[in-house]
Amino acid sequence: MVKKLLQVLAGEPVSPPPIWLMRQAGRYLPEYRALRANAKDFVQFCLTPELAIEVTLQPVHRFDLDAAILFADILLVPHALGQKLWFAEGEGPRLEPVRDAGALTKLSYDPALLAPVMQTIKGVRAALPPHVTLIGFAGAPWTVATYMIEGQGGTDHAASRGLARDRAFFSRLMDILVESTGAYLIAQVDAGAEALQIFESWAATVPDDLRREAVFEPTARIVKAVKAKHPKIPIIGFPRGGGAWLADYARATGVDGVGIDQMTDMPAAARTLPAHVAVQGNLDPDLLLAGGEAMKEKARRLVEAMAARPFIFNLGHGVVQPTPPEHVAQLVATVRGA
């Protein structure tokens, strides 16, 4: 059975394009909320294979999407590094901040802590229809580092940006994250992931003169490590907020596909990328939330504009919580020309 998503990531345009949605498994689905009630702690929810398998499969079953994405969290890597991680109810993640050399020496990657993720991948893979691709993922080093340093989410990243200029500290932290993230992604492919996505969700806060050492090089090293072990695994990089330098990113990192956010003119950005690089995106999640003709029209125009290109339909960011599930069904039908 041909997997459309893998065809596109091999550089081949497919019509209609494959579609999946970032955060397609999540709180906007009533069946997700029902399962979520079974685990008090979000980390344990991610690390309980029977729950994570079911949650990963839910949107695929409901909408017949072209890909499932592993249900997990980018902060599982800090968790496996031994950093204390918890989710404050309604407030997002909290971590014991890592801000000095002493805290760095305490970090040590324990792959056994993420063994449940590999069981989830095996379980999902066994249950997926043959035309559906299973995508594994991890956060990119800079993005994960911002949480590790700040001790929480946020968008200013003052402490992270400051420490990024502390060469000894920052290069050590990047090394730790490159090594652990590389090992984690390799294990995901070993377990059955058929494509990978690296989320650089906070690309936008990196100053221009640090982009090479904070974004390009660490990501390139991960891509290289994964491909050394699994030469054919396709990797999508998603530098959210990186609309001004996508071509440099693609060249520097060696990814097979580039995710594009909704702030970017996707057809124009795609023209700056090498022809074999797939592009993925970029419908505004607010249009999915709103639904109706505005959403459908924009989706149709995107599909049309990207027809000549290896292209994966997606959002420019994750599904937002209040999105009515029916809008997703309408979007899938629209993209497939129904």
Among 34, 158, 228, 307, interactor with a copy of itself by CB under 8 A: 158
Among 284, 310, 331, 335, interactor with a copy of itself by CB under 8 A: 284
Strands 195-200, 92-95: pairing kind: unpaired
Among 12, 41, 50, 265, interactor with a copy of itself by CB under 8 A: 265
Backbone angles phi, psi at 161, to 5 degrees: -65, -35
* Residue among 224 and 301 whose Cβ is closer to a copy of itself: 301
Does the protein bind a copy of itself through residue 320 (CB under 8 A)? yes
CA distance 113 to 117: 9
Does the protein bind a copy of itself through residue 243 (CB under 8 A)? yes
Does the protein bind a copy of itself through residue 84 (CB under 8 A)? no
Does the protein bind a copy of itself through residue 298 (CB under 8 A)? yes
Does the protein bind a copy of itself through residue 290 (CB under 8 A)? yes
Q: Which residues pair with 278 in a beta bridge?
A: 257
Does the protein bind a copy of itself through residue 110 (CB under 8 A)? no
Please confirm, yes or no, whether 147 is among the known catalytic residues: yes
Among 29, 148, 220, 266, interactor with a copy of itself by CB under 8 A: 266
282 cis-preceded (ω within 30 degrees of 0) = yes
CB distance 226 to 235 below 8 Å: yes
16 cis-preceded (ω within 30 degrees of 0) = yes
Marked catalytic residue, from 28, 32, 66, 73: 73
**Smallest separation (angstroms) from a copy of itself to the CB of 187:** 33
Contact pattern from residue 299 through residue 318 relative to a copy of itself, giving x for each residue in contact according to CB under 8 A and a dash for the rest? -----------------x--
Does the protein bind a copy of itself through residue 324 (CB under 8 A)? no
65: tokens are 């999407």
Q: Which amino acid is at 264?
A: T
316: tokens are 């420019």
* Residue among 129 and 207 whose Cβ is closer to a copy of itself: 207
* Residue among 11 and 153 whose Cβ is closer to a copy of itself: 153
CB distance 12 to 304 below 8 Å: no
CB distance 263 to 298 below 8 Å: no
Does the protein bind a copy of itself through residue 204 (CB under 8 A)? yes
Among 241, 291, 318, 325, interactor with a copy of itself by CB under 8 A: 241
* Residue among 70 and 206 whose Cβ is closer to a copy of itself: 206
First CA to last CA across the chain, in angstroms?
22
CA distance 182 to 231: 14
200 SS3 class: strand
CA distance 299 to 335: 7
- 11 dihedral zone (left: phi>0; alpha: psi -120 to 50; beta): left
Which of these segments, 133-141, 176-184, 201-209, 216-224, binds a copy of itself (CB under 8 A)?
Answer: 201-209
Longest dimension (CA), the chain: 58
Please confirm, yes or no, whether 284 is among the known catalytic residues: no
Active-site positions?
23, 27, 36, 73, 147
Residue ranges that bind a copy of itself, judged by CB under 8 A: 155-156, 158, 161-162, 165, 204-209, 241, 243-245, 262-266, 269, 282, 284, 286-287, 289-290, 294, 298, 316, 320
